[in-house]
Amino acid sequence: MSVTATLSPRKSRGLLPAAGLVLLALLAAAGCKRPAAAPGLRCSVLELRPNIASRYYDAVVRVEGVASPDPLKGHFQVISPSSTFDLASLKFTVEGSDAARLEAGDVFIVPLKRPDWKFSVWEGETEDCRQNIQDRLPAEARWHPSKTEAMDVARSIEIVNVQGVLKPVPADLRREWRLAGETAPTADNPLGVSLYQKTRGGRIVEQVEIQFAELTESEKARAESSSPAEVLSSRSECAKTGVPAEVAGHSAVVCDLEGTGELGWTYRYVYVDSGFVVAVDVQSDPEELGKTEEEKEQERRTDQTFLRYGYGPVGREEWQVMIELRMNRTGAFHKRARGGEIVDKDFKVRDDEFAAVEKALADNNFWLLESRSTIGPGFESFLSVRTDERARTVDLRDIRDPLFETIGEAIRRIVLPKVEENAMRPPTS
């Protein structure tokens, strides 16, 4: 059974729906072409100047023509992958007689940041002056999805046996990466899909999607006797139009799809391995390249809840206590008495205190602890932890687990003094 359609390029956000694509194909076949709108602004890049401060380049741009009825500089914005500027705020080295408006011959400077490879000028919702400077950058300065951590994940993909099923799996999943979803192949749909994502602060910054299907016996024989490319061409649109290349140790066909995918650029390659045809999509937020660990850490500090720790009853009033700690180092203490009285207090922790909680979780194997309970009333406690990579909740009912207790004590030792609630400690037995 063929999977040609399924291994075709994924529709990215903002592309036409399938019906629109069919209509465009019919129009093209009939020789019908929609006239292109005249650009409101034409410009060219005179040169790329090295910028010592940014350690990148500034683009020197000349206005070649202006068709906008009222080209006030304040009506335009310059947008690159990393930045947005009001055109009026940029430096003009050549200006016409009307400094408030754009004129042919004006020259202005666009301060680019790594890894900008393009920019355009927008007047409202209209984009003009599209400039792709990738070919003008030195090779070492050019951004590409194949230069990212996502590509490192893709390079580690191997066909392995997972619970009796062969499938491609990356061997190198680093911090912040997780399996975000997968679809197993079936008799009706022999295509399997695995999606791995790197998230930070609740935002996707990189992803690798793997599509795979087992070759038929006749395809396996053809791949051995001729070449994998012949088999790939019947399975993937990319293999029909792409470029042969060696990728991650495989003889593959590559489709470099700038402008597609949720992160703006998809690097796709298709190859045959161990009786499977495998298509890999590599995507990365361009701004991820070159970020320092300090910048990444700041991005992780959102108001997303890191943990919730609850326990009770405590004391004569039979208080139920809940401590919430967020990624941005703020938190909330709540307690509720059996009689209905409620107390809420906010607090903050220092970086070293937050790290101490993380260490307690790691040292006491929180991610391996299991929920347990006995029948009947008793002391209850729970701990829910959520990171960008994973989430887990452990509930204990009338059960004391030494590792869980050590984690709870670390949290209480830090938080209770901050909210003046030292009395809110669980009974020792």
pLDDT in tens, 64-81: 999 888 899 999 999 998
Range(s) of the domain holding residue 200: 145-288
Residue 401 lies in a domain: yes
Q: Is the pLDDT of residue 132 over 70?
A: yes
Q: Report the residue count for the chain.
A: 429
Q: Is 168 helix (H, G, I), strand (E, B) or coil?
A: strand
* pTM for the model: 0.66
Domain stop point among 115, 138, 161: 138
Domain identity same for 315 and 335: yes
Structure tokens at 63: 């206005």
Residue 32 lies in a domain: no
Residue 261: CB atoms within 10 Å: 24
Residue 9 lies in a domain: no
Q: Which whole number is the average pLDDT over 227-243?
A: 79
Task: Report whether 92 contacts 62 (CB < 8 A).
Answer: no
Question: What is residue 302's predicted lDDT score, i.e. its pLDDT?
Answer: 84
Q: Is the pLDDT of residue 29 over 60?
A: no
Task: Report whether 334 contacts 355 (CB < 8 A).
Answer: no
42-61 pLDDT, tens per residue?
A: 999 999 999 999 889 999 99
Question: What is residue 294's predicted lDDT score, i.e. its pLDDT?
Answer: 86
Question: What is residue 3's predicted lDDT score, i.e. its pLDDT?
Answer: 32
Question: What is residue 333's predicted lDDT score, i.e. its pLDDT?
Answer: 96
Domain identity same for 360 and 395: yes
Instruction: Determine which helix (DSSP H) or strand (DSSP E) holds 250, and give its type and residue range.
Output: strand 250-258
Amino acid at 23: L
CA distance 263 to 300: 19
DSSP 169-198: EES---TTEEEEEEE---SS---EEEEEEE
Residue 167 lies in a domain: yes
CATH assignment of the domain containing 350: 3.30.1560.10
Task: Report whether 311 contacts 381 (CB < 8 A).
Answer: yes
86-110 pLDDT, tens per residue?
A: 999 999 999 988 999 999 999 999 9
Domain identity same for 241 and 337: no
Question: What is residue 429's predicted lDDT score, i.e. its pLDDT?
Answer: 57
Q: Is the pLDDT of residue 6 over 70?
A: no
317-356 pLDDT, tens per residue?
A: 999 999 999 999 999 999 999 988 999 999 999 999 999 9
Residue 8 lies in a domain: no
Task: Report whether 124 contacts 177 (CB < 8 A).
Answer: no
CA distance 140 to 108: 26
CA distance 122 to 130: 9
Residue 195 lies in a domain: yes
Angle at 355 between CA 353 and CA 359, to 5 degrees: 115
Question: What is residue 20's predicted lDDT score, i.e. its pLDDT?
Answer: 34
Number of domains in the chain: 3
